[in-house]
Amino acid sequence: MSNKIEVRDFDFYYGDFQALKGLNLDIRANAITALIGPSGCGKSTFLRCLNRMNDTIRGTRAEGEVRFDGANIYAPDVDVVELRQQIGMVFQRPNPFPQSIYDNVAFGPRVVGMAKRSDELDHIVAESLQGAALWDEVKHRLRDPALELNPGQQQRLCIARTIAVKPEVILMDEPCSALDPVATLSVEDLMRRLSEQYTIVIVTHNMQQAARASDYTGFFWLGELVEFNATESLFSAPKMPLTEAYITGRRG
Amino acid sequence: MSRQQAHRLAVVVLTVVAAIVVIPIILVILYVVWKGLPALSWAFLTEAPRNGMKEGGIMPALLGTILLTFGTAIVSFPLSIATAIYLAEYAGDNRLTRWIRMAIVNLAGIPSIVYGLFGLGMFVLFLGFGTSILAGSLTLGIMTMPVVISTAEEAILAVPQQFRTVSLSLGATRWQTIRYQVLPHALPGIITGIILGLGRAAGETAPILFTVAAFYLPELPRSIFDQTMALPYHLYVISTQVPGMPLEIQYGTALVLLLIVLSFTLVATLVRTQMRRRREW
């Protein structure tokens, strides 16, 4: 299996505050990589560095390299707009636009210019909703407001919206923290199916979720990557005492 | 005095003060309606003044005010919206934007007669537009810009940040994000600001005094380089400059002007409440 993203000596600052310190890790293609750690440990900040969403915050600064398919995404000539199409993102709270189900999914393909004709756009929307396991629930009411869906459906709609622009990587920032256990499981099933086609990086507060839904896990503590390993090894035989303390609930 | 008594006292005092503020406004409106209503007729609105303005209607002034309002909208709308978008979405916090913001705050505080003098110097004389609809519209347009810019900027900033974040994360450019996600949601607020600005422009006398308004010109304007009569100035003229003017015509003119300005405010309020009801976040 090859590396989709390679992070090398990566530091990140909010103004004078160093949020990420000397990170080195490899994210495997077509696998699910989970990032765990206590609040404020930098895992969400790191996730937002992978598609340069932190660029939108004033006073931030990145050093080191994040290589996506071998090319540093922080190089000066990188087209950030194109990068974000290739590395999509699903957010903590389901956040559909206050528009129809159809328009939510079609927004990305429209702005990116993926569909020339309306039947092509229809096809992309249907395919994306199928990909997000939402098609059967909404196919008869694509013109209804997206905000009429329940939270679990809304989050799957956001996933459909993300995969509609055909990214290669999907970043998920605690995608289940606003969902009930049933909706959480359906999103986890979906992640597993999506990982056949996409590389997934998920930030989660929920260690059970990391343990049951991911292939690799990284443990963050105060801006540093304490341990990174196959999920099974990390949870059954952590190498670092801090990791063990955290996953057994003694620190955190 | 117990806490409950203090609370009751506060309610009474605040209600009375609020009423004191509202009563004069209602009285002014009622008085103008009472005095002006008898003058109102179809002929009053559609005929030109006759016999030294002591007879006839107000049609040229009414039309002039409508034209000037449109002119103001054409001048003010694009400049103000562009400025608001720049300030809300693109501008950083640097010396240039601090200067722009300070200029806007100061523009809002400048007396309207000063706008009138500026219009005279800049548009009528320097740029050679003469006293004309063009010069008047430009002057009124500049006068309304501060209020339109600040309401539009507020409306743009009130759009939830997550819409922008999501849009960018899907590979949209900044401009696409503004065009397709921010502006549609900010539109009701922007429209409200524009209508309020136009309402103010329609009622102002001083800015048009030297730039466009004609004392007595029963012919209708043929181009934007012509002068025109306008309601606020016409009202000033017939109230102070024409001896033996029938009171009825004065109050009738005042009533029409009042109705125009109030209808702008009413439309702005309706747009805002209507759009707020449809807002879903």
Identify the pLDDT of residue A252.
58
**Which pLDDT belongs to residue B167?**
96
Mean local confidence (pLDDT), B215-221:
83
Pairwise CA distance, residues A85 & A201, whole Å? 16
Instruction: Using the predicted structure, report yes or no on whether residue B242 has a pLDDT greater than 90.
Output: no
Residue A141 banded pLDDT, cuts 50, 70, 90:
very high
Q: Per-residue pLDDT for B280 more than 70?
A: no
| A103 backbone φψ class: left, alpha, beta (φ>0; ψ -120 to 50) | alpha
pLDDT at B281: 54
The mean per-residue pLDDT over the stretch B49-74 comes to 88
User: Could you give the CA distance from residue A203 to residue B24 in angstroms, rounded to a whole number?
Assistant: 61
As a whole number of angstroms, the distance between CA A75 and CA B237 comes to 69
For strands A60-68 and A216-221, give the pairing. Answer: unpaired
Residues in B closer than 8 angstroms to A147, CB to CB, are 280
**CB contacts < 8 A (A, B):** 63
Which pLDDT score, from 0 to 100, does residue B48 have?
Answer: 85
pLDDT of res. B258: 93
User: What per-residue confidence (pLDDT) applies to B219?
Assistant: 82
User: CB within 8 A of A44, min separation 6: which ones?
Assistant: A173, A174, A203
Amino acid identity, position A92: Q
Interhelix angle B231-240/B247-278, rounded to 10 degrees, is: 150
Mean pLDDT lowest among A148-152, B134-138, B261-265, B275-279: B275-279
- Asked if B164 lies within 8 A of A56 by C-beta distance, the reply is yes
Tokens read off for B69: 């309002």
C-alpha to C-alpha distance for A135 and A146, rounded to whole angstroms? 13
B267 CA: distance to closest CA in chain A (Å): 25
Confidence grade of residue A97 (pLDDT, cut at 50, 70, 90)? very high
- Which residue in the set B169, B171, B180 is minimally distant from A82, CB to CB? B171
Residue B268 pLDDT: 84
> Model confidence over A169-195: pLDDT tens digits?
999 999 998 889 998 999 999 999 999
Q: What is the mean pLDDT of residues A30-53?
A: 94
Q: Are B44 and B58 in contact (CB under 8 A)?
A: yes
Q: Can you tell me the distance from the alpha carbon of B278 to that of B270, in angstroms, rounded to the nearest whole number?
A: 12
Per CB distance under 8 Å, which residues of A are interface residues toward B? 51, 53, 56, 58, 81-82, 84-85, 88-89, 91, 93, 95, 97-98, 107-108, 110-112, 145, 147, 158, 161-162, 165
CB-based contact A198:A170 (threshold 8 Å): yes
B226 pLDDT higher than 90: no
| DSSP code for B56 | E
Beta-carbon separation of B170 and A162 below 8 A: yes
pLDDT for B127 beyond 70 = yes
With a cut of 60, say whether residue A14 has pLDDT above it. yes
% of chain B residues with pLDDT over 90? 57
What mean pLDDT, rounded, does chain A reach? 93
Please report which confidence band the pLDDT of residue A251 belongs to, taking 50, 70 and 90 as the band edges.
Answer: low
Q: What percent of chain A has pLDDT over 70?
A: 99
Q: Residue B275: what pLDDT?
A: 75
Instruction: Give per-residue pLDDT as tens, A71-84.
Output: 999 999 999 999 99
- Span B146-177, pLDDT tens digits: 999 999 999 999 999 999 999 999 999 999 99
**Cβ-contact A197, A144 below 8 angstroms:** no
> Mind listing the pLDDT tens digit for each residue in A125-138?
999 999 999 999 99
Share of chain B above pLDDT 70, in %: 99
pLDDT of residue A58: 85
The whole-angstrom separation of Cα A151 and Cα A52 is 27
Q: Give me the residue from A85, A91, A112 closest to B166, CB to CB.
A: A91
B243-253 exposure pattern, b = at least 16 Cβ within 10 A, e = fewer: eebeeebbbbb
